[in-house]
Amino acid sequence: MINKALLFSLAIALLLLSACTPQPAVSSQAPDGTWSGEYGLGPDRRESISVDLRWEDGHLRGIVRAGPRSLPLTKVSFTAETGAISMEFDAEGNRGRIVHYIIDGKVNGNMMTGTWAHDDEKGDFHVTKQ
């Protein structure tokens, strides 16, 4: 028969060991602040971009700055447990047509990477928190 003290010690040791096991790095806080980097359709077509994210009235809000344009985000969601972030905004395209962008990414510390899409175009982005 196993001693109760030995079982208790074994349980504590396992608990401590699991607490010391490295966990995947994800951001536990909302990604508010200024993020700068680039986006594009591939390695040869890169453009500078910045994203300003702020908590306002309990919601994450922001602006995408691409070239001379400042585009307010119409929808932003962030899941702290996984670091997943989703953003949407509209921009004026050719001949005044409204283009709806959808961005999906992941925040990992001071880096945010992911993909963007509108219509049949898709690309990637990476930005660093300033």
Query: Ramachandran region of residue 20, left (φ > 0), alpha (ψ -120 to 50) or beta?
Result: alpha
**Domains delineated in the chain:** 33-129 (2.40.128.20)
Which amino acid type is present at position 34? T
Specify the pTM.
Answer: 0.75
User: In the prediction, which pLDDT does 43 show?
Assistant: 78
Instruction: Look at strands 69-79 and 59-66 and give their pairing.
Output: antiparallel
Tens digit of each residue's pLDDT (9 = 90 or more) over 20-78: 444 444 445 679 999 999 999 887 789 999 999 998 887 899 999 998 999 999 999 99
Q: What's the average model confidence in pLDDT over 95-121? A: 95
Rounded CA-CA distance 114/24 in Å is: 17
Q: What is the mean pLDDT of residues 114-129?
A: 95
Q: 94: which DSSP letter?
A: G
